[in-house]
Structure 1
Amino acid sequence: MALSPRLDIRQGQGLVITPQLQQAIKLLQLSNIELEAFVEAELEKNPLLQRDDSEREVERDGEPERAVENLGMESVTDASANREMDAPGDDVSPGERATGDGEGFGAEHAGGQIDWSRAGGGGGFEGDDNFEGALNRPETLAEHLNGQLVLAGLSPADEAIAAILIDAVDAAGYLRADLLEIAQRLGCELERVEGVLKVVQGFEPCGVAARDVRECLELQLRDANRYDPAIAALLDNLDLLARRDLVALRRICGVDDEDLREMIAEVRGLTPRPGAAFHSDPPQTLVPDVHVREGLGGMWHVELNTDTLPRVLVDQRYHARVSKGARSDQEKTFVSDSFASANWLVKSLDQRAKTILKVASEIVRQQDGFLAYGVEHLRPLNLKTVADAIGMHESTVSRVTSNKYVATPRGVFELKFFFTSAIQSSEGGEAHSAASVRHKIKGLVDAERSEADVHSDDRIVEILKAAGVDIARRTVAKYREAMRIPSSVERRRLIKEAC
């Protein structure tokens, strides 16, 4: 067969992410501190960008253009909507904005709005090294503890309490929070917070989440099954050990010299800073991106924290002056590119603010029960539910909720805090949280008393479906293994040996 060149025309569809859209996507997922640094860099390299330090509105005709026209954007969400258990799909608006309806999120770029969903699943783009950096960066203590929290099998409410406790653990591994204050803020009993703390203190590294050095050492000794009254007395008198008052220690502990030496050696072999082995990010001041406050009539007011919004504008006068003075093609191209880049940054910042407000408003609408009544009323919520309610892509919601914080009457939380996994009901009712399903599985296993009572994974699926939980066998097996529950065959063997 002869080979010869030829020209073919083919038509196809493909996703093309422009550099401008890449920049808009990057802005959306930045924290307020990272955004400030990014804008500072743009101000340095673009002569047509100018910081807007004024608080007054400026006429656009012949004057610099304001970067964000809606700096006081606020959304009002009806807090009573979900308390009355509105059915999914009801035409309930996430709230009317005082400065606009927020339409146009799916509009074309030519209309001045950014279609964030064009980014699809969140593929990378040039200049974005976050993914590679995340792979190479050592694991932090908080990440290590949160990874164990996923497998702890706690109820949704207890898991939320545990997340707050983990967030209060410092780089050394100590809990720096008052349990009573946390209980009052979350609307639950102090005993419940203390019970969840015991679960967190069972995580690795041993001794983590202790409130002082004595408790840290006690946790490690209990884990090694070496905690007894004598060593407890030693821990109660660490000041004497620091002064090397061995006579007093021997008398208080009721031991001889040899036992005291062994006890002291054992204590000195413990780790007073259990979190020291983990990577520690430099501490940063936590500034919320959104404020939520309760208004009259059961309405929640959601507003942006304008202090975190960089205010930049396009210097129209300077642009007009340098455009007239540009002589070479290179100068004209530079001025044109700088003007386009400045305009796009202004629009991107404005759209970012609107998008954060829209997502936060819907989250507040979904989780108003938590804000009103406490942690027991956290609802199962995922990215898709929020995305469908506001007409955005899931990847957009994911970017918005990363590294963004909301200040509520119950404290400051990351937006991702309000998302809890769920398993659909087999009867079409309200979904079940994954944590509650794990709790049901553990309860079934704990109730087994004889070989005949042992449930196989298939039998557990049948029991759960009869209770209205639509779950697959592999999911049951996954939850069982995560809770370190042996298989039905192994459990029968253990019961037989115990008898």
Structure 2
Amino acid sequence: MSLSLQPSLRQTVSISPQIQQSLQLLQTPALELENLLQTELQTNPVLEEELRPAETAELPPEEEEDSHFSTRDSDWPVHTSRVDRPRLDPRQAFVESRVHPESLTDHLTSQLTLTQVEPAIQAAASEIIGNLDEHGFLQADLSEIAAATHTTPAQVDQALALVQSFHPPGIAARTLPEALLLQLQSQGQEDTLKAQIVRDHFNLLGKRKFAEIATALSAPLESVQSAAEAIARLSPRPGSAFAPDRPDLVVRPEATFVRDGHRWLPQIEGDLLPRLRISDTYKDLLGDGSADEHTRSYLKERIRSARFLLQ
């Protein structure tokens, strides 16, 4: 056996890291690309964001006059401390300032976590909360709750009573009369004429047959009418005041189609992305030769990275 060297020619395709990064950027969705550009803008000092035409428009006369006053005022010495704050993107500031509303499920779950009950009842209560509709009514049978959580009917009854004691009053009811009775109970009025009307004569109440209700309960007609007005002020949908568990998502298109005569032309939504450029200040600093070798090397590397991103 002998060893020998034999030259050979072979064609291969090699992709440089720069090309790989370019291909990755081309496949990046607009939202992720915007985040990437914002990150690069914060980490690369030679990059700066271009002002859009609307941001560089001339001031109206009133604002120009005010600017003269502000210029004269700036000649006076200022003795207060000043902190330079970075300019915020209005869109980003709007997104960060939004307060996400609490959903009904989150509101009830937070109350459940503060309640000291045995694990079986807590599991059944959590299952009940998960089976409430957007108005706060229970949509599952108690037998289904018991089967799903491997609990007894008695434990499910305790779990239901627990959830129905939570805020908002009337939650986890199975019918509208039950929701109204739970609200009256939370007000300490479970033994009043209002509760009796809801419990025993709800159909007549819906038809506004107050005289028949007064006769059946041997109560004055005025008292029945007053009770009906109080019942009408209760909430028929106890959970509707909370945000939905699955809020609608706002989709921002990356491209749209514009009608041009008999054709539809694609149009890229370029305003979604910030416009970046290399700062003239750092280019001048690199060109005038005043920077030391370490600074020049750093600026060259940062400018090279910025140019590659802008290409």
Which TM-score bucket, shorter chain as reference? 0.3 to 0.5
The structure whose Rg is larger is 2
TM-score, with length taken from structure 1: 0.30
